[in-house]
Amino acid sequence: MALVVITGANQGIGLAMAQQLQARGDEVVAACRTASDELNATDCQVVEGVDVCDDAGVELLRQAVGDRRVDVLINNAGILTSERFDDLDFDRMRKQYEVNTLGPLRVTKALSDNLREGSKVGILTSRVGSMADNGSGGNYGYRMSKAAANMAGVNLMHDFKPRGIAVILLHPGYVKTNMTGGNGMTDTASSAKGLVARIDDLSMETTGTFWHAEGYQLPW
Ligand SMILES: NC(=O)c1ccc[n+]([C@@H]2O[C@H](COP(=O)([O-])OP(=O)(O)OC[C@H]3O[C@@H](n4cnc5c(N)ncnc54)[C@H](OP(=O)(O)O)[C@@H]3O)[C@@H](O)[C@H]2O)c1
């Protein structure tokens, strides 16, 4: 039985991963700002007040984990606002950087001592953070924040390699959640199943790589 920590676990893809991991017998620490009925209905250890932009909130998570070994940390929390070139809102863009880029780094740093040899760290970025895959532009703040999150993940790969901790960057697919206004090509359960499989497959041989939940590698 693995101990898994997930951020943004009260809804969407984070909730679906928490449900699936708990159902297969893993011990799940489900971090969120505010719990949902669906999350409270699970047997996960729910930790509220965990805003990934806030050191005090992340400290609540660190305290809840205590000195336990974290086998898998899944940095899932994220936000999307849309900015076109003729509609740039720098405050909103900065906020996305806070949540999507600095958030995973803050949480990973806070739990660093709980990550031991053989542990894994996942970050949900997005294929829209890929330079090579950018065929349409737009969404300035989201794309930039996710590209920078990919860079944070590769840096973490270097820092964690000597400790035997593997890192994976993940794209969940275009998933029907509140983030997408319910639009998408797949549902949260299918996406979560793929994401969990990618994390299960992760090894020190594949650390620092970028994967679609459906099982193929994505270009930077
Ligand atoms: N859905 C897609 O098609 C898609 C595609 C590519 C990547 N992703 C990525 O997948 C991840 C999950 O997205 P989703 O579709 O499941 O979105 P979602 O349903 O909107 O859920 C987002 C989660 O992030 C949490 N969150 C937002 N800001 C936070 C903060 N400051 N501190 C802590 N938690 C915060 C939300 O908590 P609250 O309930 O408190 O707001 C919520 O639990 C995100 O990183 C997203 O960028 C999604």
- Residue 120: CATH number of its domain: 3.40.50.720
Q: Write out 93-104 in H/E/C secondary structure.
A: HHHHHHHHHHHH
Query: pTM for this one?
Result: 0.99
Q: How many angstroms separate the CA atoms of 152 and 175, rounded?
A: 24
Residue 74 in any domain: the answer is yes
C-alpha distances out from residue 168 to 3, 26, 118, 147, Å: 17, 19, 13, 14
- Domain hosting residue 95, numbered range: 3-212
How far apart are the C-alpha atoms of 135 and 92, rounded to whole Å? Answer: 23
Please tell me the distance between residue 128's alpha carbon and the centre of ligand 1 in angstroms: 15
pLDDT score, position 110: 98
Ligand 1, atom 20, lies closest to the CA of: 179
CA of 136 to the centre of ligand 1 (A): 22
Which two three-digit tokens encode residue 201?
Answer: 């497959």
Residue type, 122: G
Q: Is residue 44 part of a domain?
A: yes
Q: Is 67 exposed, middle or buried (0-12, 13-18, 19+ CB in 10 A)?
A: exposed
In a domain, 220, yes or no: no
Residue 27's DSSP bridge partners are: 3
Number of domains in the chain: 1
Do the domain assignments include residue 26? yes
51 domain-assigned: yes
Expressed in angstroms and rounded, the spacing between residue 162 Cα and the centre of ligand 1 is 31
- Where residue 196 falls (left for φ over 0; alpha for ψ -120 to 50; beta otherwise) is alpha
Q: What pLDDT does residue 1 have?
A: 86
Residue 217 forms part of a structural domain? no
Could you give phi then psi for residue 8, rounded to 5 degrees?
60, 45
For residue 57, being part of any structural domain is answered with yes
The arrangement of strands across the sheet holding 27-31 comes to: 45-47, 27-31, 3-6, 70-75, 115-124, 166-171, 209-212
Per-residue pLDDT of the chain (220 residues; tens, 9 = 90+): 899 999 999 999 999 999 999 999 999 999 999 999 999 999 999 999 999 999 999 999 999 999 999 999 999 999 999 999 999 999 999 999 999 999 999 999 999 999 999 999 999 999 999 999 999 999 999 999 999 999 999 999 999 999 999 999 999 999 999 999 999 999 999 999 999 999 999 999 999 999 999 999 999 9
Q: Which two tokens stand for residue 146?
A: 């996710």
Flag whether 89 is in a domain.
yes
Task: Tell the residue nearest (CA) to atom 42 of ligand 1.
Answer: 8
Per-residue pLDDT, 189: 98
* CB-defined site of ligand 1, < 6 Å: 7-8, 10-14, 32-34, 50-53, 76-80, 99, 124, 126, 171-172, 174-175, 177-180, 184
